[in-house]
Structure 1
Amino acid sequence: MVIAVLADIVGSRRLSDRTAAQRVLDDTIAVAEADLALATQPLTPTVGDEQQGVYRDLGDAMTSLLMIQLRLPDGIAFRFGIGVGEIRPVGSVHGDLSDGPGWYAAREAIETVHAREQRALPRSRTWIVGAPGQDEVMESTIAVSNAYLLARDELVGAMSERERRLAYGRLIGTSQQDLAAQEGISQPSVSKSLRSAGAAALIEGLAAIRGGSA
C-alpha cells in the first residue's frame, strides 16, 4: 500500500501569469525534495492545473506537503488530496498509466477540500481519504491526521511569508541563529515570530503524527 497525492492550484484561473506560477511551483517542489527526499514520485504536472505524486507512507506525505505549503510565496498555493490505498500500473500504447483505489481516494479527498473551502473553512488545503478495506489502525491514523490537518492549514494560512520561511527552516533543522542571519534579523526576533505563528505546535504535532503513522 502507498500514498497517492493529487494537487491542484488554488485560484489557477485568476493567476495573471500561469507560466511563471508553474515555474515557482516546480522550483518549490524541487527545493523541498532536495532538502528532504521523501517522495517515491515527486509531484509532477499531469494536465491543466493538476499534479500527481506518490509517497511511501502517510508521515512522509504529510511532511513533504507541509514543506511545499510553507515554501510557496504569497499568492500561489496548492490544495492536496491524499489517498491511502493500492495503486497499480495499467498498460497502454503510450506507456504504463497509474490507476487504482489510492487514486480514487485521493480524488475524493481533494473534492472534500474544495467543498470545505467553499463553506466554513476557506483556509482548508489538505484532506486524507482511505480506500475501502483499511484496517482499524489506519482508519484511526487517518482520523487523527485529518484533525491535525484542519488545525495545520489554519495556522499556515494565517502566517506571513516570512513566518512560513522560518517555520520551513525549523522543520528541516536549520538553527534559529542561521535563520536570523538569512533573514537579516535577530535571533530573538526569529524566536518571537515562530512562537506567535504557532510554528512549534505545527512541527511538534507533525512529529506526534509521524510517530504513530503506518
Structure 2
Amino acid sequence: MSESVVALIVDIVKSRELKDRVGAQRSIREAFEWASHGRPTRRSLWPTVGDEFQAIFFTLGDALLTTSLVRLALPEGVDCRFGLGRGETVDVDEWAPGTIQDGSAWWNAREAIEETHRREHGTAPYLRSWFVTNNEGESGTVALVNGFLLLRDASISSMRPRDRRLTAGTLLGYSQTELARQEGVTQSAVSQSLRRSGGAALLAAHQELRKGQLQ
C-alpha cells in the first residue's frame, strides 16, 4: 500500500512582474533549505515547469511549519503560494531523467493552489495557502487547518521585515534575548514587536498544532 504524505505545490506571486526571476527562484530554494533544516522531508523542494516548485512532506505539521518559515524568510518583493494536498504519490516513469509522479496527493495539491488563487483574487487578497484531502474522515482537520492558514497568511502579509525575522527566529526556538542581540535592539523591543505583529500568536498557534500531533 502507498504511504499517505503531504504534497506541496509552490508558485511565485506576480512572477511576471519581477525584474529578477532567476534571483527570486534562488531565494525560494534557499528559504526552503533553511526552513526545512533539521526536519525530515519525504522529498526536498525541486523546480518543475515555469515558476513552480514541488516538495513532499511526511506530516502536515511539518508542511505547515516549513511554509510559515519560508514566507517569513523570503526577501521583500518575493512571495509564494502554497497548495498542500494529502494523499498518495506514485512514480509514473522510473526511467525519466527526473522522477515523474502522479497520485491523489498531487491532485489535491493542485486543487488547493487553484483554490488559493481563487480566494486571493476574491475576498481574501492576503491568502497564500490552502489544504485539500479526499479523506472523508478528515473534514474536521481540513476546516481547522484552513482556518489556521487564513489567519496565518493575514498575519504574515501585514508584517514588516523585522517583524518577520523576529517571528521566524521565535518559531525556530531562539530566545527574545538572542533575537534582540541579533537585531541590535532591546529584549523589550522584541517582545513588543512579537505582540504587535501577531508573531507571538503565530508561535502559540503552531505550539497548539504540535500538541495535537498533526500528522
Considering the TM-score relative to the shorter chain, is it more than 0.5?
yes
Could you say which TM-score interval applies, normalised by the shorter chain? over 0.9
- Confirm whether residue 51 of structure 1 aligns to residue 53 of structure 2: yes
Figure out how many residues of one structure are paired with residues of the other and give that number: 210
Cα deviations across residues 111-145 of structure 1 (Å, max 9, x unaligned)?
000011111111100000003xx142x22112101
User: Where do residues 66-145 of structure 1 align in structure 2 (5 Å cutoff)?
Assistant: 66-95=68-97, 96-131=99-134, 134-136=135-137, 138-145=138-145
- 2:205 alignment partner AA: G
Secondary structure in structure 1 of the residue aligned to 2:96: coil
- 2:201 alignment partner AA: A
Following TM superposition, where does structure 1 have runs of at least 4 consecutive aligned residues deviating by more than 6 angstroms?
none
CA gap of 1:121–1:162, structure 2 versus 1, over 3 A, is: same
Greater alpha carbon shift after TM alignment, 95-104 vs 113-122: 95-104
Partner residue, 1:165: 165
* In structure 2, distance between residues paired with 1:142 and 1:208: 16
Cα deviations across residues 169-206 of structure 1 (Å, max 9, x unaligned)?
00000111111111111110001000101112111112
Question: What TM-score, normalized by structure 2, do the two folds share?
Answer: 0.93
* In structure 2, distance between residues paired with 1:40 and 1:183: 34
Question: Is the contact between residue 39 and residue 64 of structure 1 (CA under 8 Å) also seen in structure 2?
Answer: no
- Unaligned regions of 5+ residues in structure 1, if any? none
CA RMSD of aligned residues (A): 1.3
Partner residue, 1:24: 27
Secondary structure in structure 2 of the residue aligned to 1:21: helix
* In structure 2, distance between residues paired with 1:195 and 1:84: 33
Question: Is the contact between residue 112 and residue 130 of structure 2 (CA under 8 Å) also seen in structure 1?
Answer: yes
Question: What TM-score, normalized by structure 1, do the two folds share?
Answer: 0.94
Question: Is the contact between residue 39 and residue 62 of structure 2 (CA under 8 Å) also seen in structure 1?
Answer: no
- Unaligned regions of 5+ residues in structure 2, if any? none
